Amino acid sequence: VQLVESGGGSVQAGGSLALSCAASGFTGSSYCMGWFRQAPGKEREGVAIITRGGGTIYVDSVKGRFTISQDRAKNILHLQMNTLKPEDTAMYFCAATARYCWAIPSMLRPSNFGFWGQGTQVTVAS
């Protein structure tokens, strides 16, 4: 299983970025996948997940601003981030698990996921 993120960068507050995660070694649609982030000095937190059935759930702080989606034909996970805020600054990670998952808040815990990418940095300037 390999996950490779791309699309990070620097942007002004209010701007947008689109992250992608190319998955290989497994079929993404058979896994539960998600995006997580970790800011310096803080614990890793779940941002959004998408279930095998296409259900989604987001952490409250990004609801209405971020959208997770999956291109099953290309095995790519996306995260569209709009109206970015300085507090969104973090390293963003793509993750996957073969476990069944539900679109419920407890699934946003990093401990639910066993496969991780290397991360891509997102910096939002005020």
Alpha carbon distance 29, 70 (integer Å):
8
What are the backbone dihedrals phi and psi of residue 60, each rounded to the nearest 5 degrees, phi first?
A: -55, -35
pLDDT digits (tens, 9 = 90+) for 9-61: 999 999 999 999 999 988 766 789 999 999 999 999 999 999 988 999 999 99
pLDDT digits (tens, 9 = 90+) for 57-112: 999 999 999 999 999 888 999 999 999 999 999 999 999 998 889 999 999 999 99
Alpha carbon distance 79, 96 (integer Å):
14
Place of tokens 């998955």: 23
CA distances from 92 to 53, 72, 80, 106 (A): 23, 21, 12, 19
Alpha carbon distance 82, 88 (integer Å):
11
Asked if 35 and 61 touch (Cβ cutoff 8 Å), the reply is no
Pairing of strands 76-81, 66-71: antiparallel
